[in-house]
Each structure stands twice: as C-alpha cells, then as structure tokens.
C-alpha cells in the first residue's frame, strides 16, 4: 500500500494475543496515521473473554476493510502414528497419556479456541492446552517432538513443514479446502461436523477517525487486493484474499465472529483475567 498511501511503518506489538497492539491503536489519535492490522484475535478476547478488557473493540476501533481470511490446522508430529483426523481422535481416546496435550498460541487466542472446539466436538476433553508465547515456539516444539499436537494458523511455514514431512497437517478448519493445500481435507470432510474455525485479518482505526480517511485507506486496500500477483502470494501462503470487503462488511463479520465463539467460551468457562 506504500505507493498508494505513502510511507508505511510496521510496528509489531506482541502480547495478549494481539490485545496490546489493539489497545495501543484504540488510544491513538484518530487522524489516520495509526491503524491496526488485527481482526478476530484482537476483538474476541476483549469482547467475550475478559472481565476487565483493555478496550472495547466494538466501540473504540473503527473497521476499515478486511484483507484476508486465515484458517487453522490440526497438526501432529510425524511420530504420532496417525494419517487422518479420525485416526487422531481414536488414538487420543485410546492413548490419553501419550497424547495428553496440545500447543497453541496463548490462552484465549483463536488457536486455543480452535483446540477447545476440537475437544468439545470429539469428546476428547482430557487433552490439556499448553499455552505458548505465539505460534512460532509451538511449531518449533512440535517439529522437535516436545509436543505432539498443535493448532496453528495455516501459514507458508506450516505448509512447508508439512510438505517436507517435518510436521503432518491432518485437516484444516476452513469451510473449503485451501488453494495452497488441495490435498488436505477440511475437518468437516474428515468427519468432525461443525469443526470450522478461521480468523479475519483486517484494518481498523481509532474511533473518531474521519470517514474520508477510512474510505481512503479502505480503497487503497481493495486496490492492492485486486492485484492478481498479490492475490497469488496470499493464496500460496494459505490465506484467502477478501477482495470486495468494506467497513460495513468487516463490522458485520466481526459481530458474527463474536457470536460464533460465545457459546464455546461459556461452555468451557474460559476467562483470561
């Protein structure tokens, strides 16, 4: 977007599953110079997982446009003697001590909720969540065999580890198979109805940002996403580009996202503060 908007500086603010970065933008001056690359993770945690949220994502942040949709994957170390999701479920039930935990990027992240949804739908509740400070360390430990099951977002790195046999993706949690991994079934195809989980990745501005600025940034994002070369980069990395998004559509998707995860959060009694 630099050719369209001018200088763009990326400032990575990790922590809290994206909440610290979200809070920083929510408190920023609403002049269009500070925007958030966030989405499902930055909104769900604050909206339904905390008694004392750092910010109100539905009031303190203005949706601009969604950029892409990212699915998650159920991934095992090749030492686990399973080739399918059904075999994993059977193995977990028959060998609770051998497959006693799964790794995910932080308590309350969508990676974590994806693992809990899998447990709820497959009646494998004895598998314990092991929180990591991001997906990177979880993936590294899975390659080393220090943890046998992880629920990362699908990325180019995860796909490459699958292709080289260092990890094994059993299923993806998207509604349809991914362009980047057409040989990998969805979790629903693999026999777990309702096992759908994905995250929105979009742009947000501080509340009060003028509509003209929101529209300008939104149009710039749509222009970039219309580029077939950029679309190919996203698709090959496991992302689905959202080429016709808008502020209104992103707001609606976020509302639906929060409503989708509310029942599971209530079922497992999850609170992170």
Tokens representing 51? Answer: 């008694």
56 pLDDT above the threshold of 90:
yes
Return the pLDDT at 235: 93
pLDDT recorded at residue 133: 84
Q: Are residues 218 and 250 in the same domain?
A: yes
| Cβ atoms within 10 Å, residue 123 | 10
Please report whether residue 185 resides in a domain: no
**Is pLDDT above 90 for 231?**
yes
With beta carbons less than 8 A apart as the criterion, state whether 264 and 113 touch: yes
Which of 9-18, 105-114, 115-124 bottoms out in mean pLDDT, i.e. has the lowest? 9-18
Indicate whether 51 belongs to any domain. yes
pTM of the predicted model as reported, rounded to 2 decimal places: 0.90
Q: Are residues 62 and 80 in the same domain?
A: no
Rounded alpha-carbon distances, angstroms, from residue 7 to 2, 13, 220: 6, 19, 13
Q: Which two tokens stand for residue 3?
A: 């050719």
51 confidence band (pLDDT: 50, 70, 90): confident
pLDDT tens by residue, 183-203: 999 999 999 999 999 999 999
> Do the domain assignments include residue 102?
yes
The verdict on 54 and 88 lying in the same domain is no
36/81 same-domain check: no
Is 14 strand, coil or helix? coil
Structural domains counted in the chain: 2
Residues 57 and 79 in one domain: no
Between vectors from CA 74 to CA 175 and to CA 168, what angle results, nearest 5°? 120
Q: Is residue 189 part of a domain?
A: no
Q: Is residue 177 part of a domain?
A: no
Domain identity same for 167 and 98: yes
Residue 62 shares a structural domain with residue 79: no
Read out DSSP for 79-103? TS--SSHHHHHHHHHH-TTTT-EEE
Contact 64, 247 (CB under 8 A): yes
Q: Report the CATH number that the domain containing residue 164 is assigned in CATH.
A: 3.40.190.10
Span 200-213, mean pLDDT?
Answer: 96
**Residue 47 is part of a domain; what is its CATH number?**
3.40.190.150
End position of a domain, from candidates 155, 172, 189: 172
Reduced to 3 states, what is the DSSP secondary structure of residue 158? Answer: helix
pLDDT recorded at residue 62:
96
Same-domain status, 126 and 204:
no
168 and 93 housed in the same domain: yes
In contact, 52 and 269? CB cutoff 8 Å: no
- Structural domain includes residue 93: yes
Q: Is residue 122 part of a domain?
A: yes
For range 130-156, the mean pLDDT: 94
For residue 35, the enclosing domain spans 2-67+200-268
Answer yes or no: is 178 within a domain: no
Token representation of residue 237: 């990395």
Say if residue 57 is in the same domain as residue 78. Answer: no
Q: Are residues 90 and 154 in the same domain?
A: yes
How many residues does this entry show for the chain? 273
Whole-number Å distance between alpha carbons of 198 and 177: 13
Mean pLDDT over each residue of the chain, to the nearest integer: 94
92 and 118 assigned to the same domain: yes
Q: Is the predicted pLDDT of residue 14 greater than 80, yes or no?
A: no
Mean of pLDDT values over 144-148 = 97
């Amino acid at each position: 977007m630099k050719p369209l908007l001018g200088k763009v500086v990326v400032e990575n603010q990790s922590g809290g599953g994206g909440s610290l970065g979200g809070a920083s933008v929510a408190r920023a001056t609403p002049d269009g110079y500070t925007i958030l690359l966030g989405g499902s993770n930055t909104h769900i945690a604050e909206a339904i997982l905390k008694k004392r949220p750092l910010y109100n994502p539905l009031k303190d942040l203005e949706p601009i446009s969604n950029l892409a949709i990212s699915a998650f994957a159920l991934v095992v170390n090749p030492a686990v003697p399973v080739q399918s999701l059904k075999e994993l479920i059977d193995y977990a039930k028959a060998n609770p001590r051998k497959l006693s935990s799964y790794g995910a990027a932080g308590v309350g992240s969508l990676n974590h909720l994806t693992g809990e949804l899998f447990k709820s739908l497959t009646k494998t509740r004895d598998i314990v969540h092991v929180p990591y400070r991001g997906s990177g360390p979880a993936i590294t430990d899975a390659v080393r065999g220090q943890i046998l099951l992880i629920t990362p977002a699908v990325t180019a790195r995860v796909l490459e580890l699958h292709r080289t046999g260092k990890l094994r993706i059993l299923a993806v949690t998207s509604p349809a198979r991914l362009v980047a991994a057409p040989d990998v079934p969805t979790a629903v195809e693999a026999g777990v109805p309702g096992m759908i989980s994905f995250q929105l990745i979009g742009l947000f501005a501080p509340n009060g940002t003028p509509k003209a600025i929101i529209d300008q940034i939104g149009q710039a994002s749509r222009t970039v996403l219309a580029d077939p070369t950029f679309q190919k980069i996203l698709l090959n990395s496991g992302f689905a580009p959202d080429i016709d998004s808008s502020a209104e559509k992103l707001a609606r998707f976020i509302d639906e996202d929060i409503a989708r995860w509310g029942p599971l959060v209530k079922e497992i009694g999850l609170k992170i503060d």
